[in-house]
Structure 1
Amino acid sequence: MPTNHNLDKWFLQYDTRAVQGRKNSLFGGSAKKPLKQGTALANLCAAARKHPEVMVKIPKRHSQNSKGMKGIRNHLDYVSRNGKVELENQNGDKLNGKKEVKKQLDFWRNAFGIDEETKHREALNIVLSMPAGTPPQAVLNAAREFAAEQFKGHQYAFGLHHESDNPNEPPHPHVHLCVLMRDDLGQRINPRKNDLFEWRVRFAEKLRDEGIQCAATRRQHRGKTPKAHNGTVLAIDRRLNEQHKKQPEQYRPHSHITAAKLHTLGNAVKTGQRPVNLYKDKSQVTRTALLKRYKTLARQLYAAGMKTEAKDISKLAQQLVDAGYDTRMQQQYDKLHTILMQNQHQQQQSPKNLSIPQQNDEIGR
């Protein structure tokens, strides 16, 4: 079978520093410690077993507001809930209350010469999350170890949000991590898409060290075509919807993004033209190549006596075979089209009972 190194390298899509580690710390910005060997197989098998996918994201709203000390201060006030939630820094120091948070902020301002307002982001705000039911302490521990490896040489602070500490918090445990863009040598981090995936893989590794079953894979690995809902857009839609119910003349029911999608979907339903997946051909090529690799890997694992892992990879290959290529817009169109056909049938049977399908809040998101 292929070596763990080669499989890990393929899984991460490029020869990342997560596989080899960084030899020269002068360039900063990425972990010096490589991921554990076999991380690819561990995550693929976990995905086949339907273990929950870890989530690591950089919220645009918070990150764009982290320009200068003013933005960093506002974000740490948010994470600490104005001093009510305990924060922890890269040294393991606990920050309790607004005074200790302010002391940390003052140190950052003086040590790195960060002005009150700047043109460039001075901090990167990251959210590490798991589904409801995951032990919050395990998520916090994993986040601590993740940050220590991924951002060695950087100043940072983090805090846990979960309903166990405050009933107003969401049920899914998540950690807000605020990392200064410049490390101790003045080098700035500039994460790319592949870096975010590497972060997910590392966070999953730390969660498994805590005994949490989880996976970190790409949508393509699982044969998933529709992208996940944009959490920021969903939050805006929920807020606008509530405001619209109270003051319909002042607030619109949806965000501009959702309104545009609803408009496109409405036109498609009116004309009877099903939306097109512009990336279907590319997805088919990717899936075909992935399926071939899975089948080869399953045979190699079986020959090596790793029958459980071979079965998992075969199961993942079958998921690709069974998966379709429909986008979320196409799925929503099909749903509305079915309702229209049912209404037309009802009209033929009883014209008085005709009902017009309504586009609910979820359609178009």
Structure 2
Amino acid sequence: MGINYRVDNWFLGYERSINPKKGGGGGGHNFKPGTGLKNLQAAGLKKPEVMVKIPRRTGNSSGMKGVKGHLEYISRNGSLTLENQDGQKITGAKEIKDTLNEWRKFGIPENSTKREALNIVFSMPPGTPAQAVKDAVREFAREKFQGHQYVFVEHTDEKHPHVHLAVSMRDELGKRMNPRKNDLFHWRVFFAEKMREQGVDCAATKRQHRGIAQKGDSAIVRQIEDRGKLSEVKKSQAQELIQALKENKRPLHPFLKEHLATKEMISEEYKYLAKELYKAGLKTEARAISKLNQSVMQADNTTKAQARFDDVIGRVTEKSVEIER
């Protein structure tokens, strides 16, 4: 068994890299051999992580009404030009209406209890060529969503380049997608592959692969804060912090034991991988994996709740010292 085979299976989730999964996300998961090592090496070299997210649905729209809402939102009510699965450009309310009529031919009901379109957001850090992101999404969708209706569009209203893609849940044979959490990770890995084909060096790894304990805020939370409002998540966090300060009790890490065990397991895998790569004469790759292992072991285990508590206590302590002086 070659090193790439072992790493791909460990990184992607045993056998997923070799045997495409039936059902789940669109198109199965056929990755190039060595994709696991490629992403881990990029992470070790601190290359930017790609982002692929499915925003939470807002409102109660379903069926074709929900699809219409998707397309109007990502096109900014027709002011932005969409591109569909056939490479056709769609601009304005009339052409969006024509596109919706095409989607209806796939048997999407006017009213449905199920989600009939998936809105996926692909993004990269500021400074990434926007055209490269759009071209990578085009190739991603062409391979992953064959037989589905879809449209995508680049948004330039934020510093980081990002593309919205709306894809029908049903394909031309009426079969529905059912993407799961691991499918989303595999989509990130595939998107990273497409970004590298565009000449952008990047990584797609899980937080656990990098030893990170804290989960970032969701896109929805960030959007709410950008509008100057406080999300329900932030309100709940504030209440928890106030209670912890009243009790003068630092919040516990609810999964510290599991987190440390995972870090140790991942570190052992990296040590083995670096050793095998070095023996095979791949010293550059071995050094990158060793750096990644070092980052994992040095990563802070503090949760967000603990970090907020420590920050407040630290500022209060500093203020007390200043007063005493």
Q: Quick one: distance in 2 between partners of 1:237 and 1:160? A: 22
User: Does structure 1 residue 87 correspond to structure 2 residue 87?
Assistant: no
Structure 1 residue 191: Cα displacement: 0.8
Aligned residue number for residue 220 of structure 1? 208
User: RMSD over aligned Cα, in angstroms?
Assistant: 1.8
Percent identical pairs in the alignment equals 48
User: Does structure 1 residue 130 correspond to structure 2 residue 118?
Assistant: no
User: Does structure 1 residue 230 correspond to structure 2 residue 225?
Assistant: no
Q: Quick one: distance in 2 between partners of 1:19 and 1:347? A: 65
TM-score by length of 2: 0.95
Structure 1 residue 131: Cα displacement: 1.1
Task: Choose which of 275, 280, 304 in structure 2 pairs with 1:299.
Answer: 275
Structure 1 residue 159: Cα displacement: 0.8
After superposition, the C-alpha distances for 1:290-321 in whole angstroms (9 at most, x for unaligned) are 10110010010000010000000000111112
Aligned residue number for residue 194 of structure 1? 182
SS at match of 1:125: strand
| 8 Å contact kept, 2:124–2:161 | yes
SS at match of 1:128: strand
Unaligned 5+ runs, structure 2 = none
The structure with higher relative contact order (CA 8 Å, sep 6+) is 2
Q: Quick one: distance in 2 between partners of 1:287 and 1:145? A: 35
Aligned residue number for residue 27 of structure 2? 31
Closer, same or farther in 2 for the Cα pair 1:334/1:29, shift >3 Å?
A: closer
Structure 1 residue 29: Cα displacement: 4.5
Structure 1 residue runs of 4 or more that deviate by more than 4 Å after TM superposition? none
User: Does structure 1 residue 141 correspond to structure 2 residue 135?
Assistant: yes
Unaligned 5+ runs, structure 1 = 163-168, 242-253, 350-365
After superposition, the C-alpha distances for 1:214-252 in whole angstroms (9 at most, x for unaligned) are 1100001111111011221222234253xxxxxxxxxxx
Task: Choose which of 177, 184, 194 in structure 1 pairs with 2:172.
Answer: 184
Aligned residue number for residue 145 of structure 2? 151
Q: Quick one: distance in 2 between partners of 1:348 and 1:271? A: 25
Aligned residue number for residue 55 of structure 1? 51
Aligned residue number for residue 353 of structure 1? none
Larger radius of gyration: 1
| 8 Å contact kept, 2:108–2:116 | yes
Aligned residue number for residue 227 of structure 2? 239
After superposition, the C-alpha distances for 1:141-168 in whole angstroms (9 at most, x for unaligned) are 0001111111122111111112xxxxxx
Letter in 1 for 2:207: R
Task: Choose which of 292, 295, 301 in structure 2 pairs with 1:325.
Answer: 301
TM-score by length of 1: 0.85
| 8 Å contact kept, 1:161–1:174 | yes
Aligned residue number for residue 12 of structure 1? 12
Aligned residue number for residue 3 of structure 2? 3
Matches within 5 A, 1:68-83: 68-83=63-78
Q: Quick one: distance in 1 between partners of 2:272 and 2:226? A: 46
| 8 Å contact kept, 1:28–1:183 | no
Structure 1 residue 288: Cα displacement: 0.5
Number of residues of Structure 1 aligned to a counterpart in Structure 2: 325
Q: Quick one: distance in 2 between partners of 1:86 and 1:214? A: 28
Task: Choose which of 161, 166, 177 in structure 2 pairs with 1:173.
Answer: 161
Aligned residue number for residue 359 of structure 1? none
Structure 1 residue 88: Cα displacement: 1.1
